[in-house]
Structure 1
Amino acid sequence: MGLKKYIISSIIFIIAVFGYAYSLELGEYEISLLGYSLNLPASVWIVFPVVVLALVTYLHIIFYGLINYFKQKAVIKDHETMIEFIKSGLLEKTNVLKFRTKDFKNLSSILSQLKIVVTDERFTSSNEELNKIVGNIQDINDGKFVSEKSFKINETSKLANLNMLNKVNEQIDFAVDVLKKPENYSSNIIRQAFENVLEEKTMTTIKKLYKNIKLDKELAFKLFEKDAANNEFGFTAEEILAIVKDLDFNKDDYLALAKNYEKILKPDQIISIFEKLSTEVEEATTAYLHVLCEYEMIDRVKEIVSLTPDTEYTAFKALLDLKESGKYYNLETISYK
């Protein structure tokens, strides 16, 4: 029974009791207490305890009704906070959220120790904003760039990094912008931007950008391959030397570099490059000898290897011996080790 119905029923009951007692014509009754006396009809004294009991029950019902109301309100509020907690977890934010009820506090403590991962499956809930967040995360995981202003991710999170990576892959002009100001982006974003620019832009554009980033051997070789394929506007010998000197190339790296350019650069250019490198870095000598052999500069090869111990550059020494005996072998059949 609701409070309203209870009040109406109790009032009707009180009136009925009073009416019945009054109809009995019981007269009046006087009560004296501590020098005070009160004289009222007997019907009033009969109905008085019923009225007091009714008032007490009203207060009791109202009191516990208010308690229940605030409990329900706390649960509803905690439910809303839990949705925000889940959203923050999905967006990889570290918002401090407070819960009112013990059960939700325990639940949030458990969830804070776990990672909420969005799957590829279709997601639906009664909260449209949550649905939208999950949908955007699924798009990012699928390689799409999400640019909605309402979709606010923690800028230092993996999700934000992946979204930025998607933007680099979708928008080549943005990749160029990244290389113009690489200090504003993480290393993997810069790397992907450079690889995309290498693939889609001309050497004219690339030559304006490559100095802005720190090249490693892998990126340098991709850059050299691009240059070799587009050498009309490619690097000068001095630029190639400048790039190589900043890298920790080994013998095989220098040899691969020589093979990359030997069909592109003019003989005097590539010979000059590797001559300079070999005088500064011993690891480049094998590549220099390879270039000399490629252009049949046998006398120069003899001059270089004659000054080395018998155990060094044995492949080239063997090649010279074979040539002197009238036997000719392709350079690719020789081991440089």
Structure 2
Amino acid sequence: MGLKNYIITSILLIILVFGFTHSLEFGEYTFSMFDYSLTLPIAIWVVMPLALLAFVTYLHIIFYGLVKYFKLKALDYDMDALFSLIESKLLEKENKSNFRTKRFKELSNVLNQLEIKPSREIFSSSNEELNKIVSSIQSIKDGKYVSEKSIKVQESSTLGKQNLLNKINEQVDFALDVVKKSENYDFDTVKQAFLKVLSEKSMTTIKKVYKNVNFDKELVSKLFEKDRENSEFGFENSEIIDIVKNVKLTKDDYLEMAKNYKSTLNPDKIIDLFEKLSNQNEEATTAYLFVLSEFEMIDKLREFLANTNENEYVSFKALVDLKDCGKHYNLESLSYK
């Protein structure tokens, strides 16, 4: 029975008892205590305890109704806080939700020690916001860029970094902007952005921004590949030297570089380039000798080798000796490493 029905029923009962008692014409009764006295009809004296009991039960029902109401409100609050915690864990954010009930506090303590990730399968729940977040996370992990309007992720989080890389891969103009403002991003992000720019932008554009990049071997290789494909607008020797200056290339790296540039640079330019590189870094000497041998600069090769130790650059010395004897070999048939 609801409170409303109980109140109506109890009032009707009190009225019926009062009416029945009053109809019996019991008269009046006087209650006296010390100097105080109260005279009321018997019917009223009969219903007074009944009315008092009814009033006390009203208070009892209202009190425990309020207790139940606030408990349910606490559960609703904790349920919302739990979904907020799950969303924060999915987005790799710190969550500061406070829980009101003991059970939910224990559950939140457990969840805060776990890593929550959505499955690769279709996710569905009654919470639309959670469905939206999981869908966005799955899109990011699939390599798609999700707009900041759709999902709020911290840029420093793994998810935020992945979404940034996805944006770079999808939007070459954004990638170019990242390279231009490279001081605002970490090395891996700038590297990915520059690789995107290399694959889609012209050499003219690349020459305007490449100085913003800290190079590693992979970037140097990709940049010089782009340079060879666009030799008409390619780098000057001084620019190539400046690029490799701060990259730790090995003898084999320089040799591979010489082989690749052999077909795109004119002889004078490539010889000048590797001569300067060898003066700057001893690791480039073998590549320089390779270039001299490829372009039949035997006198210059002989002059250089004359100032080296007996056990150095043996393959090149053998090549010079063979040519002096009228034997024509190339370095592909000799070991020059």
Residue 261 of structure 1: how far off its partner (Å): 0.8
Q: Is the 8 A contact 2:176 2:197 kept in 1?
A: yes
Q: Distance between the aligned counterparts of 2:29 and 2:324, measured in 1?
A: 148
Moved more, 161-170 or 107-116: 107-116
Letter in 2 for 1:321: D
SS in 2 for 1:126: coil
Alignment of 1:299-314 (within 5 A): 299-314=299-314
Q: Which residue of 2 aligns with 1:333?
A: 333
Q: Is the 8 A contact 2:179 2:209 kept in 1?
A: yes
SS in 1 for 2:133: helix
Letter in 2 for 1:230: N
Question: Deviation digits for residues 50-94 of structure 1, max 9, x if unmatched?
Answer: 111111111000011011111111211222222222222233322
Q: Which residue of 1 aligns with 2:128?
A: 128
Moved more, 250-259 or 154-163: 154-163
Q: Which residue of 1 aligns with 2:233?
A: 233
Q: Do residues 23 (structure 1) and 35 (structure 2) align?
A: no
Letter in 2 for 1:64: Y
Q: Distance between the aligned counterparts of 2:34 and 2:289, measured in 1?
A: 127
The alignment's TM-score, normalised by the length of structure 2, stands at 0.93
Identical aligned residues as a percent: 60
SS in 2 for 1:332: helix
Letter in 1 for 2:273: I
Moved more, 232-241 or 107-116: 107-116
Residue 212 of structure 1: how far off its partner (Å): 1.1
Q: Distance between the aligned counterparts of 1:264 and 1:312, measured in 2?
A: 29
Q: Distance between the aligned counterparts of 2:279 and 2:131, measured in 1?
A: 65
Residue 115 of structure 1: how far off its partner (Å): 2.0
Question: Deviation digits for residues 134-154 of structure 1, max 9, x if unmatched?
Answer: 222222222221225253222
Q: Which residue of 1 aligns with 2:295?
A: 295
Q: Distance between the aligned counterparts of 2:162 and 2:330, measured in 1?
A: 48
Q: Distance between the aligned counterparts of 1:256 and 1:292, measured in 2?
A: 15
Q: Is the 8 A contact 2:136 2:150 kept in 1?
A: no
Q: Do residues 209 (structure 1) and 218 (structure 2) align?
A: no
Residue 287 of structure 1: how far off its partner (Å): 0.9
Q: Which residue of 2 aligns with 1:197?
A: 197
Q: Which residue of 2 aligns with 1:261?
A: 261
Q: Which residue of 1 aligns with 2:281?
A: 281
Q: Is the 8 A contact 2:18 2:46 kept in 1?
A: yes
Letter in 1 for 2:52: V
Name the count of aligned residue pairs: 337
C-alpha spacing 1:218/1:148, structure 2 compared with 1 (3 Å): closer
Question: Deviation digits for residues 186-215 of structure 1, max 9, x if unmatched?
Answer: 322211111111111221111111111111
- Name the Cα RMSD after superposition: 1.9
Q: Is the 8 A contact 2:187 2:214 kept in 1?
A: no
Q: Distance between the aligned counterparts of 2:207 and 2:320, measured in 1?
A: 40
Letter in 1 for 2:9: S
Q: Which residue of 2 aligns with 1:91?
A: 91
Question: Deviation digits for residues 157-192 of structure 1, max 9, x if unmatched?
Answer: 222221121111111111111111112223222111
Q: Which residue of 2 aligns with 1:57?
A: 57
Q: Which residue of 2 aligns with 1:13?
A: 13
SS in 1 for 2:162: helix
Moved more, 110-119 or 145-154: 145-154
Residue 334 of structure 1: how far off its partner (Å): 2.4
Moved more, 57-66 or 108-117: 108-117
Q: Is the 8 A contact 2:169 2:196 kept in 1?
A: yes
Q: Is the 8 A contact 2:251 2:284 kept in 1?
A: yes
Q: Do residues 147 (structure 1) and 142 (structure 2) align?
A: no
Q: Distance between the aligned counterparts of 1:218 and 1:336, measured in 2?
A: 24
Q: Which residue of 2 aligns with 1:165?
A: 165
The alignment's TM-score, normalised by the length of structure 1, stands at 0.93
Gaps of 5+ in 1: none
Gaps of 5+ in 2: none
